[in-house]
Amino acid sequence: MNIHWILLIVLFLSGPVWAGEARPLADDPVAEQRLKHLAVELRCLVCQNQTLADSNAPLAEDLRREVREMIAKNMNDQEIIEFLTARYGDFVLYRPPLKATTTLLWVGPFVLVIVGATALVVTLRRRAAKVVDVPVTEDEHRRVEQLLADGGKRS
Amino acid sequence: MNRFLLPLSIFIVVVVFLGIGLKLNPREIPSPLVGKAAPDFSQPQLFEPTKVFAPADMKGKVWLLNFWASWCSGCKTEHPVLMDLAKSGYVPIYGMDYKDQRDEAMTWLSRWGNPYPIVGVDDAGRVGINYGVYGVPETYVIDKQGVIRYKQIGPLDPDTVEKKIVPLVKQLEAQ
C-alpha cells in the first residue's frame, strides 16, 4: 500500500467533515421538509425568478429563518403563507390566487387559445368554401395522359 | 391592402404591450401594507442603545420611516435628498438602520450628515420583514393615525419628494 492510497482514503473520509457547513438543515428533518415544501412555492423578492428555497440573497435567508420559526411555533402552511402575503403581496406566491386583479393572468391564456382556435376554424372554413369542385372533362383527361407520355419520352 | 390590415394591427398591439412591459419596473412590487396600520416595533436606538424607538411615540404626527444601511449604495444616492427634506422641515424622517453594523452606521452618519431625529436599529431585519422591505432604501409615509399612506421602493429623488411626498404630507397634516 503506497502513499497514494492513504491520501485517497484521507480525501474521501474528509468529505463528510466539509459537508458539516449546512448543519442547521439537519436539526429537525420534519421541519426542514416542511420548509422545503413551502419554500419552493414562494418567490424570492430580490432575485425574482428564484424560489425562496434556491436563493442565497440575505432577504431569502431571513425569510427562511422566519418560516422556520413559524413552523417551530406550529403554524400551519395557510397561516405562514398569509403572514408572507400580508407583507409582500401575492407576488411572493408562484401560484397566485384567483382574484379580481389576477383574473387576466389566469384566464388570459385560455382566452388567447379560444380566440386563436376560432380564428383558425373560421379561416379554414372560408378557404374550403373558396375551393370549387370542378370535374375533369374527358378532353382534359386525354391531354394529361398525352403530356405525361410525352414527358416520359423526353427523359 | 385588407390582407395586411389584420397582421399589422396584431403587430401594433404586440408592440404596445411590449412597450408597456419595458417601462414597468419589476423591482416595484405594490405593497399590500399601504392603507394598513404601520406594523408595531420596539427597537433600540442607534445613538442611545438603552432607549427604544417605537411607532407608538409618533401618534398624532405625520412622519417618514426610512430603511437604510451604511452598506447600501442606493442610500448614499438618496442621502442628499433626505438631508434637504429634513432641512425644509416639512416632515420628520425617522431612520431604521437595516441589517447593519452599529459602528459603521454611526460613522456613515457622522461622515455624510444625519437627517434623522431618531434612528432605530434593526440588526436581524425582522422589522424590515414586517414592513415588507425587500431592498433598502425604502421609505414609508405614515399618517397621524399610524396608517401607512405611501411606500417608496428604492431611493427618493427630488422629483418624487416634490411631486408626491410633500403634497401627500401636506394633505395628511390638514386632516
- A70-73 long-range contacts (CB < 8 A, ≥24 apart) are A71/A31, A71/A34, A71/A35, A72/A28, A72/A31
Residue B1: pLDDT band by 50, 70, 90 thresholds? Answer: low
Indicate the residue of A48, A59, A89 with minimum beta-carbon distance to B31. A89
Query: Is the same domain home to A31 and A67?
Result: yes
Q: Would you call A62 and B33 a contact, using CB atoms and an 8 Å cutoff?
A: no
pTM value is: 0.74
Query: Is the same domain home to A93 and A103?
Result: no
Mark which residues 103-142 of B lie under 8 Å from A by CB: 124-126, 128-132, 134-135
Give mean pLDDT, residues A9-38: 64
Query: Is the same domain home to A1 and A60?
Result: yes
- CA distances to A21, A64, A107, B60 from B53, in Å: 36, 26, 47, 16
Among the three residues A97, A113, A129, which one is the final residue of a domain in this structure?
Answer: A97
Q: Does residue B5 belong to any structural domain of this protein? A: no
- A92-135 pLDDT, tens digit per residue, is 888 888 888 788 888 999 999 999 999 999 999 999 888 888 88
Domain count, chain B: 1
Domain count, chain A: 2
Residues of A within 8 A of B30 (CB-CB) are 89
Query: Is the same domain home to A67 and A79?
Result: yes
Q: Would you call B29 and A91 a contact, using CB atoms and an 8 Å cutoff?
A: yes
Tell which of B29, B34, B148 to mutate to test the A interface (max A CBs under 10 Å): B29
Which CATH number covers residue A26? Answer: 1.10.8.640
- B66 bridge partner residues: B95, B139
Indicate the residue of A58, A87, A89 with minimum beta-carbon distance to B130. A87
Nearest CA in chain B to A85: B32
Query: Is the same domain home to A43 and A116?
Result: no
Query: Is the same domain home to A114 and A132?
Result: yes
Query: Is the same domain home to A129 and A74?
Result: no
- Please spell the DSSP secondary structure of chain B, one letter per residue: -HHHHHHHHHHHHHHHHHHHHHHS-TT-PPPTTTTSBPPP--EEBSS-TTSEE-GGGGTTS-EEEEEE-TT-HHHHHHHHHHHHHHHHTSS-EEEEEES--HHHHHHHHHHH----S-EEEETTSHHHHHTT--SS-EEEEE-TTSBEEEEEES---HHHIIIIIHHHHHHHHH-
Indicate the residue of B29, B124, B126 with minimum beta-carbon distance to A45. B29
Query: Is the same domain home to A116 and A88?
Result: no
pLDDT at B114 over 80: yes
Full residue range of the structural domain in which residue B75 is found: 37-174
pLDDT at A34 over 50: yes
Give mean pLDDT, residues B32-41: 90
pLDDT at B29 over 90: no
Residues of A within 8 A of B124 (CB-CB) are 62
pLDDT at A19: 47
- Mean of per-residue pLDDT scores for chain A: 81
Q: Does residue B25 belong to any structural domain of this protein? A: no
Q: Does residue B6 belong to any structural domain of this protein? A: no
Among the three residues A97, A123, A146, which one is the final residue of a domain in this structure?
Answer: A97
B160 touches chain A (CB under 8 A): no
pLDDT at B152: 92
Q: Does residue B123 belong to any structural domain of this protein? A: yes
Q: Does residue B19 belong to any structural domain of this protein? A: no
- B137-154 pLDDT, tens digit per residue, is 999 999 999 999 999 998
Among the three residues A54, A82, A97, which one is the final residue of a domain in this structure?
Answer: A97
pLDDT at A20: 45
Full residue range of the structural domain in which residue A12 is found: 1-97
A to B CB pairs, distance under 8 Å: 39
B99 touches chain A (CB under 8 A): yes
Query: Is the same domain home to A8 and A33?
Result: yes
Give mean pLDDT, residues B72-101: 93
Residue A121 C-alpha cell reads as: 376554424
To the nearest whole Å, the CA of A24 is away from the closest chain B CA by 18
Query: Rounded to a whole number, what is the distance in angstroms from the first to the last CA of chain A?
Result: 80
Q: Does residue B20 belong to any structural domain of this protein? A: no
- A36-53 pLDDT, tens digit per residue, is 888 888 888 888 788 888
Mark which residues 2-61 of B lie under 8 Å from A by CB: 26, 29-33
- Mean of per-residue pLDDT scores for chain B: 91
User: Which carries the bigger pLDDT value, residue B122 or residue A9?
Assistant: B122
CA–CA gap between residue B104 and residue B69 (Å, rounded) = 9
Query: Is the same domain home to A19 and A78?
Result: yes
Query: Is the same domain home to A126 and A70?
Result: no
Which CATH number covers residue B65? Answer: 3.40.30.10
Query: Is the same domain home to A85 and A108?
Result: no
- A78-95 pLDDT, tens digit per residue, is 899 999 999 988 888 888
